[in-house]
Structure 1
Amino acid sequence: MYLKVEFYRHQLGEEELNGVKEVLSSLFLTTGPKTREFEQSFASYLGVDGCLGVTSWTMGNFITLKALDIGPGDKVLTTPLTYVATANTILHVGAEPVFADVDPITGNLDPEAARKALTANKGVKAMIVVHLYGQMADMKALSELAKEFGVFLIEDCAHCVEGVRDGVRPGHLSDAAAFSFYATKNMTCAEGGAIVTNNQSLLERIRPLRLHGVDTYAMDQRKDGIYRHWDMTELGYKCNMHDLSAALLLPQLARIEETRKSRERLCKRYDKLLQGLDSIEIIPEIAGSTHACHLYTIRVDPDKRDRMLTELSLRGVGVGVNFRVVHLMAYYVERFGFEEGIFPMAERIGASTISLPLYPALREEEQEYVVETIKSILSEIGN
């Protein structure tokens, strides 16, 4: 039997179409009332004070670093087991990335490794924590660490809107948290993102940076029917969310817990179907936490991983790798001289991980086909 099982299929439908139609029939296509509604709703869902919609996680994190006055001469600590954008934004503000190894189970930043890196590296001004695959990092330990060393704490929530750990949600214990609404995320508008914070002064510092440094947005320029001049107060950028994106996101936010539970059921079913395969490492969920279930990953023998990726693809199964480590990417090796072996836990996970199809519309027969195909390949190449 052969099935084509896509790695990801979005769940956008009639509600999102109606939202877009409403915006198209309104006055504002750019940043307007729908964006403001989304920002307020998203902040309320997370239980934080403020939110700003942006065009991507990358730009959201970039302008957050700029608002915190991080730049040349500064260092920012993060994990090497992440998408390159996490480290790239550090370089884009002129700072230097410093990496620390990860927890061998979750793949999240290891607080003890972070402590060693902070102790060994002077000039670290901020720490970016990634909630990998939707499992929140140990924010209580990491926030205490940030306070101890006097560094800003930023959360990379590209994988994690719905997560909870120790009663803590994204944005609760950090200076700011950045989110992604890229095409394959749990909530998507194709390209988009958001920044949340409980620091109102930081929020107002970020706001002009997302629109050229101007102090008045179009929707406020003629408030009460009176024209208002705008001024440019600093050199900003162009990454403001628009109302068409917000219209796509609002219906998804309303059903976010329903769709998370659908993915959670699929994750648990994968666990059951893969149980007993000694050559497959299943990643356990942290007890007492809520996993956002953004990605379902397995770990296999690194010497066989790429062969399995090829065979799965040839047999119709969409797969991914999240992630090959940043410090061994060609650019980082050439620029900083990083060598294999310096972050062994992250490197082991990066070399052994396979991401399997996961989305609410994934059918049981498709999931069974994925697992049977894995079993078949393992029998062919040897356990």
Structure 2
Amino acid sequence: MKVDFYRHPLSKSDAAAIAGVLDTPFLTTGKVCASVERQLEEYFGVPYAIMVNSWTNGAFAVLLALDLQPDDEVIVPAMTFIATANVVVLAGGTPVFVDVDPGTLLMMPHAVEKAISSRTRAIIPVHLYGQMCDMRGIQDVVHRACSYARRPIIIEDCAHCFEGTREAYRPGRHSDVAIFSFYATKNVTCGEGGAAIFNSEELYQSTLESRSHGMSALAIDRFSNGRYNHWDMNRLGTKANLPDLLAALLPQQIATIDDRLPERKRLADRYRAAFKGGPLRLVDQIDTTVSAEHLFAIGIGNDARDVAIARLNEAGVGVTVNYRSVPELHFYRRQLERSDNAWPVAKRWGNETLSLPLFPGLCEAEQDYVIATVKRAVYPLAAS
């Protein structure tokens, strides 16, 4: 049997939304994006939202709006996708890596408190695999740092966590900005894209400009009322806006995202029940968190992860790695002065982890085959 790592939920019926945009003269950021922004503001209970063309460019635009200087530091977890750290470097700042919790693989408030300093400009907690970090705790740490000349801002990396909650609060409740990904494999997708939601009007207004070359007006505003309107450039910016052509795929998915979560949870719980008590390392689940169940990651010891990937691929099971420890990657190893043991949890997990197929539409026969294949081909590696 062949089991894909992921199959997206979109179908030919979704083409009607794109056709609706094609019937208008405006393909880029316009009325559809504005409508989705209002939808996001209502869903998350925040005052401001901006559509962007990727998590990466959205975060880059936010950091550009902060006008980072070379000695400005941004705290990021060592276990995350490389984009979380890369945007800091691209924006002119310095990433400061902290290790993660050994059970949940999440950034912890005490790690932030240890790393924060007068040079800290921002903190980027990552809601890995669908579970939210302790945002209330991280916010408390930041508030205690108010003796510094500038309060660090909190930027939530919500690429894995659109519909998740912690202690009944959603992303955006305890941060200045939360950024989402609508990449092809995400729980809400338009192929490429993302969004940022804000509690700070000042940061929202600055990011509106920095996501579009620093221009003071979007295309829809520059050509409003049937005439050309002059614009200015107030700050350095990038090209991060999302076109209506892609945004048209989002409204129905956002409206039904909570309806699809029970199926993701059911599939994840089947994996957890099947592997309970076995030789694999599983991610701890937090009682007060409702995970978005974006990915199902396992850890394989004995330096056997890559052999396990080969065996699963040979059996037709699609898998991937989420993620290797960022400070262990060649680019960052050249730049960092810390010892190899500075991030032991992230390093170990990055050497052990792989992610199994998890998506609504994965049938039980397919999942049973994945489970049986893992037990047959991977268990002996992890147990030896």
Q: TM-score, normalised by structure 2?
A: 0.94
Determine if contact 1:210/1:236 at 8 Å carries over to the other structure: yes
| Structure 1 residue 16, shift from structure 2 partner | 2.0
Determine if contact 2:74/2:120 at 8 Å carries over to the other structure: yes
Equivalent residue, structure 1, for 2:276: 275
Equivalent residue, structure 2, for 1:323: 323
Rounded to whole Å, the distance in 2 between the matches of 1:183 and 1:115 is: 35
Equivalent residue, structure 2, for 1:112: 110
Equivalent residue, structure 1, for 2:194: 193
Whether 2:143 is the aligned partner of 1:142: answer: no
Determine if contact 2:73/2:122 at 8 Å carries over to the other structure: yes
Determine if contact 1:127/1:152 at 8 Å carries over to the other structure: yes
Cα-to-partner distance string for 1:73-117 (whole Å, 9 max, x where unaligned): 111111010011100111111111111111111101022122112
SS in 1 for 2:214: coil
| Structure 1 residue 57, shift from structure 2 partner | 0.6
| Structure 1 residue 6, shift from structure 2 partner | 0.6
Cα-to-partner distance string for 1:258-278 (whole Å, 9 max, x where unaligned): 22221111101111222332x
Determine if contact 1:322/1:355 at 8 Å carries over to the other structure: yes
Determine if contact 2:301/2:382 at 8 Å carries over to the other structure: no
Higher mean C-alpha deviation, range 151-160 or range 224-233:
224-233
Distance 1:68 1:382, change over 3 A: closer
| Structure 1 residue 218, shift from structure 2 partner | 2.3
| Structure 1 residue 236, shift from structure 2 partner | 2.0
Equivalent residue, structure 2, for 1:258: 259
- Which amino acid in 1 is paired with 2:217? T
Rounded to whole Å, the distance in 2 between the matches of 1:116 and 1:225 is: 56
- Which amino acid in 1 is paired with 2:107? L
Rounded to whole Å, the distance in 2 between the matches of 1:356 and 1:379 is: 14
Q: How does 1:344-383 map to 2 (within 5 A)?
A: 344-378=344-378, 380-381=380-381, 383=383
Distance 1:222 1:330, change over 3 A: closer
Higher mean C-alpha deviation, range 78-87 or range 143-152:
143-152
Cα-to-partner distance string for 1:326-376 (whole Å, 9 max, x where unaligned): 001011111224442211111222222121001101110110000100111
| Structure 1 residue 282, shift from structure 2 partner | 2.5
Unaligned runs of 5+ in 2: 146-150
Equivalent residue, structure 2, for 1:288: 288
Determine if contact 1:32/1:243 at 8 Å carries over to the other structure: yes
Determine if contact 2:297/2:356 at 8 Å carries over to the other structure: yes
Determine if contact 2:101/2:108 at 8 Å carries over to the other structure: yes
Rounded to whole Å, the distance in 2 between the matches of 1:218 and 1:78 is: 34
Q: How many pairs were matched up? A: 378
Q: How does 1:167-182 map to 2 (within 5 A)?
A: 167-182=168-183
Rounded to whole Å, the distance in 1 between the matches of 2:132 and 2:346 is: 17
Rounded to whole Å, the distance in 2 between the matches of 1:345 and 1:379 is: 22
SS in 1 for 2:179: strand
Alignment match of 2:65 (pick from 63, 67, 79): 67
Determine if contact 2:38/2:49 at 8 Å carries over to the other structure: yes
Rounded to whole Å, the distance in 2 between the matches of 1:30 and 1:174 is: 29
Identity over the aligned pairs, expressed in percent? 42
Equivalent residue, structure 2, for 1:54: 52
Rounded to whole Å, the distance in 2 between the matches of 1:231 and 1:382 is: 60
Rounded to whole Å, the distance in 2 between the matches of 1:101 and 1:382 is: 24
Unaligned runs of 5+ in 1: none
Distance 1:233 1:123, change over 3 A: closer
Distance 1:88 1:382, change over 3 A: closer
Higher mean C-alpha deviation, range 83-92 or range 300-309:
300-309
Rounded to whole Å, the distance in 2 between the matches of 1:111 and 1:235 is: 32
SS in 1 for 2:33: helix
Distance 1:364 1:236, change over 3 A: same
Structural RMSD (CA): 1.6
- Which amino acid in 1 is paired with 2:58? G
Alignment match of 2:101 (pick from 95, 100, 103): 103
- Which amino acid in 2 is paired with 1:243? D
Whether 2:86 is the aligned partner of 1:88: answer: yes
Whether 2:244 is the aligned partner of 1:248: answer: no
- Which amino acid in 1 is paired with 2:264? R
| Structure 1 residue 56, shift from structure 2 partner | 0.7
Q: TM-score, normalised by structure 1?
A: 0.95
Equivalent residue, structure 2, for 1:44: 42
Distance 1:378 1:215, change over 3 A: closer
Cα-to-partner distance string for 1:11-60 (whole Å, 9 max, x where unaligned): 00244211111111112110111111111111211111111111111111
Rounded to whole Å, the distance in 2 between the matches of 1:244 and 1:300 is: 42
- Which amino acid in 2 is paired with 1:112? H
Determine if contact 2:51/2:196 at 8 Å carries over to the other structure: yes
SS in 1 for 2:165: coil
Rounded to whole Å, the distance in 1 between the matches of 2:96 and 2:194 is: 25
Rounded to whole Å, the distance in 2 between the matches of 1:177 and 1:266 is: 27
SS in 2 for 1:298: strand
- Which amino acid in 2 is paired with 1:315? A
SS in 1 for 2:191: coil
Cα-to-partner distance string for 1:158-186 (whole Å, 9 max, x where unaligned): 11111110222111111111111111111
Rounded to whole Å, the distance in 2 between the matches of 1:183 and 1:275 is: 30
